[in-house]
């Protein structure tokens, strides 16, 4: 199957960036790790037979069942991962824990979870990467009961000696899929926007190069590359790694209003009040959730143009047009999006 195919897309909204934007972020043990900037790859030492903890704390006091807890809790469309690591080389695994009202409870990872570069590790808590590069996990279920105050990344070393690792960015959030695939007439563009052409007075054309594309994610690997140590030692990825900025110009047609917009009548609300249970619940079904969590795509998000592939293509993107929704039939809408790679 074609690697650059465009089909049923998936949008991954990083909740941590949204929390920072709305002023609910309090502190973290390593702020740069939670900036969704994998090219800011740093060195870490994981002591022998130990687990290093990296906390992202909010200023929410809602407690279990509150709005922040619902935003963070795994309940069907959550994901998390690390972009830019060499965990395969170091035999390192990683997992995520919530802070609860009674302590820390681990999200459950089992064999039915989806792993992009990895598999379930010890106690069905940790993910063991299969390659260096990036790892994304979509948990199938969870026994966690978050109170909305902390997300914790745990990096585990089971070896009897210290391990030096590289770590770029931790991402945690919700993914969304529209009900239909992209329209067939989609455009894929590779734009070398760092290369400008100009003509001299004599008529010659010269190239002015200000950048060569996306920076590396550490360990000598280009962005979104999967490799093992023996490959890196014998192959210089930097020779062919620099590429243009990817862009997708796509359309989505005949989306039902309840899958595109929030179910409540007040567009400003993020949660829906359920009279049957006398409680608020977060709207996780519609694409409106993705647009709200990314401020209509202005915040960076992960994007997969065809999520049906076993090894789908990924990109960090922003939406660079102004999304508008045109009613084309009763309660059916169409829209077009320009998704531009960012770094």
Which pLDDT does position 309 carry in this prediction? 86
Residues 29 and 135 grouped into a single domain: yes
**pTM for the complete prediction?**
0.91
Domain finish residue from 143, 175, 207: 175
- Integer angstrom CA distances of residue 35 from 212, 260, 289, 308, 310: 23, 28, 21, 28, 28
Residues 74 and 110 grouped into a single domain: yes
Which pLDDT does position 281 carry in this prediction? 76
**Any domain includes 298:** yes
Q: What is the mean pLDDT of residues 94-113?
A: 80
pLDDT above 80: residue 123 = no
pLDDT above 90: residue 304 = yes
pLDDT above 50: residue 191 = yes
Give DSSP secondary structure letters for 115-165. Answer: EES-EE-GGGT-EE-SSBEEEEEE-S-------SSEEEEEEEE-SSS-EEE
User: What is the extent of the structural domain holding 165?
Assistant: 13-175
8 A C-beta contact, residue 262 and residue 255: no
Read off the CATH number of the domain in which 86 is found. Answer: 2.60.120
277: Cβ–Cβ under 8 A, 6 or more apart, which residues?
none
Residues 237 and 258 grouped into a single domain: no
1 band by pLDDT with thresholds 50, 70 and 90: very low
Q: What is the mean pLDDT of residues 271-283?
A: 75
**Any domain includes 7:** no
pLDDT above 60: residue 74 = yes
Q: What is the mean pLDDT of residues 2-27?
A: 90
Residues 224 and 299 grouped into a single domain: no
Which pLDDT does position 162 carry in this prediction? 95
Domain count, the chain: 3
Which residues pair with residue 272 across a beta bridge?
281
**Any domain includes 181:** no
Give burial (CB, 10 Å; 0-12/13-18/19+) of 280: middle
**Any domain includes 180:** no
Rg (CA), the chain: 21
CB atoms within 10 A of CB 134: 26
Residues 155 and 225 grouped into a single domain: no
**Any domain includes 167:** yes
237 band by pLDDT with thresholds 50, 70 and 90: confident
8 A C-beta contact, residue 16 and residue 171: yes
Q: How far is residue 343's CA from residue 340's CA, in Å, rounded to a whole number?
A: 10
Q: What is the mean pLDDT of residues 294-323?
A: 94
Residues 228 and 311 grouped into a single domain: no
**Any domain includes 4:** no
CB atoms within 10 A of CB 145: 14
**Any domain includes 112:** yes
pLDDT above 70: residue 48 = yes
228 band by pLDDT with thresholds 50, 70 and 90: confident
Residues 330 and 202 grouped into a single domain: no
Residues 251 and 334 grouped into a single domain: yes
Domain finish residue from 209, 226, 241: 241
Residues 60 and 156 grouped into a single domain: yes
Residues 17 and 117 grouped into a single domain: yes
Q: Which residue has the higher pLDDT, 234 or 310?
A: 310
- Percent of the chain whose predicted confidence (pLDDT) is above 70: 92
Domain finish residue from 147, 175, 203: 175
Q: What is the mean pLDDT of residues 213-225?
A: 84
Which pLDDT does position 267 carry in this prediction? 64
Residues 134 and 256 grouped into a single domain: no
Q: How far is residue 189's CA from residue 246's CA, in Å, rounded to a whole number?
A: 6
**Any domain includes 2:** no
Over the chain, what is the mean pLDDT? Answer: 87
72-86, 87-101, 133-147: lowest mean pLDDT where?
A: 133-147
Residues 54 and 36 grouped into a single domain: yes
Which pLDDT does position 2 carry in this prediction? 56
Q: What is the mean pLDDT of residues 300-306?
A: 95
Q: What is the mean pLDDT of residues 150-168?
A: 93
Q: What is the mean pLDDT of residues 295-324?
A: 94
Name the DSSP class of 227.
B
pLDDT above 90: residue 137 = yes
Name the DSSP class of 321.
S
310: three-class secondary structure by DSSP? coil
122 band by pLDDT with thresholds 50, 70 and 90: low
Which residues pair with residue 173 across a beta bridge?
14, 79
316: three-class secondary structure by DSSP? strand
């Amino acid at each position: 199957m074609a690697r650059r195919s465009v089909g049923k897309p998936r949008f991954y909204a990083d909740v941590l960036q949204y929390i920072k934007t709305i002023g609910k972020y309090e502190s973290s043990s390593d702020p740069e790790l939670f900036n969704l900037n994998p090219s800011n790859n740093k060195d870490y030492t994981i002591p022998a037979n130990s687990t290093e903890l990296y906390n992202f704390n909010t200023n929410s006091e809602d407690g279990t069942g509150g709005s922040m807890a619902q935003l963070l809790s795994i309940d069907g469309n959550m994901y998390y991962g690390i972009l830019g690591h060499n965990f395969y080389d170091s035999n390192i695994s990683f997992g995520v824990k919530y802070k609860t009202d009674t302590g820390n409870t681990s999200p459950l990872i089992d064999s039915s979870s989806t792993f992009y570069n990895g598999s379930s590790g010890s106690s069905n808590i940790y993910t063991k990467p299969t390659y260096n590069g990036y790892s994304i996990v979509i948990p199938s279920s969870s026994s966690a009961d978050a109170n909305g105050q902390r997300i914790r990344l745990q990096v585990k070393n089971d070896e009897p000696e210290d391990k030096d690792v590289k770590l770029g960015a931790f991402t945690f959030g919700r993914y969304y899929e529209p009900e239909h695939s992209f329209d067939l007439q989609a455009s894929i563009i590779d734009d070398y926007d760092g290369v400008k052409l100009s003509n001299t007075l004599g008529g010659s054309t010269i190239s002015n190069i200000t950048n060569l594309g996306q920076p590396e994610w550490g360990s000598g690997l280009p962005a979104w590359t999967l490799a093992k140590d023996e490959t890196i030692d014998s192959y210089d990825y930097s020779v062919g790694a620099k590429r243009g900025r990817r862009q997708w110009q796509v359309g989505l047609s005949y989306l039902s209003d309840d899958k595109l917009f929030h179910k409540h009548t007040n567009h400003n609300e993020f949660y829906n009040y359920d009279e049957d249970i006398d409680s608020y619940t977060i709207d996780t079904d519609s694409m409106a959730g993705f647009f709200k969590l990314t401020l209509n795509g202005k915040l960076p998000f992960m994007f997969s143009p065809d999520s049906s592939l076993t090894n789908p293509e990924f990109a960090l993107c922003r939406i660079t047009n102004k999304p508008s929704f045109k009613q084309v039939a009763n309660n059916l809408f169409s829209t077009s999006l320009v998704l531009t790679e960012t770094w």
